[in-house]
Amino acid sequence: MARPINAALYVPGFYATGNTGEWTFTGASYNNQADATGNGAYDAVAGAFLYISATDINSGVQIPGVVHRYVFTAVQATDANTLSGTILWNE
């Protein structure tokens, strides 16, 4: 069983891949808030689930209680604090 990771991922923008529900991102700031291993972003792996809060497009404020589940299909850690990858909608 995989170890859950409590982290915040600040993505500057998602880009559609052409496949329905699939998105890529680059240069996202990653903050592993319970880093038991000391590996930071290197702990993120393909197959891990990612929960993304819905955000109001006009104000940038998160919408309470609305979360969508995605799965990493590809992930690349640039360093311990930066990730790039591909996610697929998985609800």
Percent of the chain's residues with pLDDT above 70: 97
| 48 found inside a domain | yes
The residue with greater pLDDT, 79 or 34, is: 79
| 86 backbone dihedrals φ, ψ, rounded to 5° | -130, 135
| Residue 5 domain flag | no
How large is the average pLDDT for residues 54-71? 90
The residue type of 13 is G
CA distances from 40 to 1, 3, 5 (A): 20, 14, 10
Measured between alpha carbons, how far is residue 90 from residues 31, 40, 48 in Å?
Answer: 23, 24, 11
pLDDT at 47: 92
Strand 62-79 with 49-55, pairing:
antiparallel
Confirm whether 79 is domain-assigned: yes
User: Considering its fold, how many domains does the chain have in total?
Assistant: 1
Q: What is the pTM of this model?
A: 0.81
Residue 48 identity (one-letter amino acid): A
